[in-house]
Amino acid sequence: MQSIKNVLDRFNPTTDKYVSREFQTFGLHLADQLDDYKHKGLYIRLAKTTHRSILEQALSFCVDSTATNKGALFMWKLKDLKQKAKAAEAALKARNESAKT
């Protein structure tokens, strides 16, 4: 997987005129790694709204697999990671509430 520094070093504003933000580059990187160019707009939106660490975990899970539809596997893993993060946040909040009383 390429580092963000390498992606930004390769970014050329004169030739990549429709890609002006870093999250767009990362979204296109996701589409490239998952071999799912049809849904590149979805990956750009996810890169903009979802925390980068969650996206990278889901991407590394999918790239290492031998699945034929890596886009679907990515979305499944992304959903799973978001649910785990939400459950951990709720448990932490409940622990803090019980400590206050």
Helix axes of 22-34 and 70-100: crossing angle, nearest 10 degrees: 120
Q: How confident is the model at residue 2 (pLDDT cuts 50, 70, 90)?
A: low
Contact between residue 33 and residue 63 where contact means Cβ atoms under 8 Å apart: yes
What's the CA gap between 10 and 72, in Å, rounded? 29
C-alpha torsion angle, residues 43, 7, 57, 21 (rounded to 10): -40
Neighbouring CB atoms inside 10 A of 49's CB total 8
pLDDT digit string, tens, across residues 43-70: 999 999 999 999 999 999 999 888 899 9
* Averaged pLDDT for residues 2-30: 77
Rounded to two decimals, the pTM is 0.76
